[in-house]
Amino acid sequence: MPLLRALLEGGLDDPEAIRIGGTAFSGPELLGAASVVADGIAERAQATAPVAVSATPTAETVVAVVGALLAGAPVVPVPPDSGVAERAHVLSDSGAATWFGDKPRDVALPCRRVDLSRRAGHEVREPPGDDTALIVYTSGTTGSPKGVLLSTAAMAAGLDGLADAWAWTAADTLAHGLPLFHVHGLVLGVFGSLRLGSRLVHTGRPTAENYARAVREHGGSLLFGVPTVWSRVAQDPASAAALTDARLLVSGSAPLPVPVFERIRELTGQAPVERYGMSETMISLSVRADGERRPGWVGVPVEGVEVRLRAVAESPDGESIVTDEDVPADGESIGELQVRGACLFDGYLNRPEATADTWTDDGWFRTGDAAVVDATGYHRIVGRRSVDLIKSGGYRIGAGEVETALLAYSGITEAAVVGEPDEDLGQRIVAHVVCPEGPVDAEAVMEFVGDRLSRHKRPREVVVVDALPRNAMGKVQKARLRRG
């Protein structure tokens, strides 16, 4: 079935079906405007070459993206605040032939603009499901950003899994204020509505007031946010009160701090649903709408997805390696999370070696994330295996577990834990914490964590910082914290 099924089948005929900022239109109006874009792309000498879209949170972005998909041209969403070097890499690596949106001076591509008033009415179709529809670039934490190749079939499969997990139907109104250059905001937050037929409200800026307005004025029932958004809501009781009328609050892209989870539950009467995914995998794990909601746990595999946790061991030369052994489902043992299913990506653009390195011999994608699973099948992500799996004093410790304990300490609002080289321990646990109300007693913090977890899991150093370095999706960039 097409990725844009509801749009192409005449759904979303409400004049307010799609609202982006101050612009609203129906599904047929979106389809007509996108068809004009598709016609223009089809007239190019390189009709199927990728299209770069300056992914501002506007109606023009949505029309450009949908138009490119209808024309069979892969879309390259470009962050509007990307720097010159990053932008040059993305455009060169992707082979984009056209730029949509306001064009920076350093972009030499032919530029097109979207005219929201124009319509075309001829029949348009999506390209075959196996074709690449989206090239989403990773954050580049381990080198230059890599282009993740996503087909319409993979994205459709992922969205259907979420429809099952979240009881997401055409009766919903999806509301969010997420960026449109990542899977969370664009695929889940736009394509989800265009496939399933639910109304869409993009709030523009992701403020607590805008989320409240989306519920009060537009009937928002399904709300997507990153932890930063939910933290803002937690600090605004008046806006949070409006969210009691929403059906489901979903948090993702980074771990949701336990105090924020509990505060949202207190203010809205419902706990957020947490989930886990990557650009390469769509959403693999989620708490179901009718499932138990535990802070810090991201639930069970969504429909059509299989996961497994493989044990991590140490090679003779001291390197961390992933074995062929499954970890016990005890909620404590840490393993690398591996995934397979119809919603996975088709590889990294122009990176055959990097693509091959991410797959096991028996066909599972190596996420590189470390996790635990309990006897009920619930998963908890403890961080990236490369930076968040710390070996200290002979123990393997997940940074996420320590961070959760730190956030329960009064006065700490944000925490990031890294392993630093240590001659005695191998690595020592260093906690970087944000304390808006003033410095905390480092020794007391260490003892607090040691009492809540185990002595060997306590930080050996506590560093108070004004803010943690984060990327556009709110994920902490731990490489910038490590000193050794």
Residue-level pLDDT at 405: 84
Confidence of residue 126 (pLDDT cuts 50, 70, 90): confident
Same domain, 441 and 368: no
pLDDT at residue 356 is higher than 90: yes
Q: Averaged over 51-74, what is the pLDDT? A: 96
% of the chain at pLDDT higher than 90:
67
Of 45-59, 159-173, 314-328, the poorest mean pLDDT is in: 314-328
Place of tokens 């969205």: 159
Same domain, 399 and 326: no
Same domain, 49 and 125: yes
Of 138-152, 228-242, 248-262, 332-346, the poorest mean pLDDT is in: 138-152
Residue-level pLDDT at 484: 57
Annotate 317-345 with b (16+ C-beta within 10 A) or e (fewer). eeeeebeeeebebeeebbbbbbbbbebbb
Same domain, 378 and 398: no
What's the CATH number where 448 sits? 3.30.300.30
Confidence of residue 404 (pLDDT cuts 50, 70, 90): confident
pLDDT at residue 364 is higher than 80: yes
Annotate 59-71 with b (16+ C-beta within 10 A) or e (fewer). bbbbbbbbbbbbb
Same domain, 64 and 114: yes
pLDDT at residue 469 is higher than 90: no
Q: Averaged over 409-433, what is the pLDDT? A: 86
pLDDT at residue 165 is higher than 70: yes
DSSP designation for 100: E
Please answer whether residues 277 and 342 qualify as being in contact, where contact means their C-beta atoms are separated by less than 8 angstroms. no
Q: What range defines the domain where residue 319 resides?
A: 272-385
Domain finish residue from 385, 407, 427: 385
Indicate whether 246 belongs to any domain. no
Indicate whether 245 belongs to any domain. no
The pTM of the full predicted model, rounded to 2 decimals, is 0.84
Residue-level pLDDT at 476: 80
Residue-level pLDDT at 430: 93
Same domain, 64 and 190: yes
Same domain, 277 and 380: yes
What's the CATH number where 200 sits? 3.40.50.12780
Please answer whether residues 430 and 460 qualify as being in contact, where contact means their C-beta atoms are separated by less than 8 angstroms. yes
pLDDT at residue 182 is higher than 80: yes
Same domain, 174 and 103: yes
Residue-level pLDDT at 140: 54
How far is Cα of residue 20 from the mean position of the Cα atoms in its chain? 20
Indicate whether 283 belongs to any domain. yes
pLDDT at residue 319 is higher than 70: no
Q: Averaged over 415-430, what is the pLDDT? A: 84
Indicate whether 220 belongs to any domain. no
Indicate whether 216 belongs to any domain. no
Q: Averaged over 18-33, what is the pLDDT? A: 94
% of the chain at pLDDT higher than 70:
93
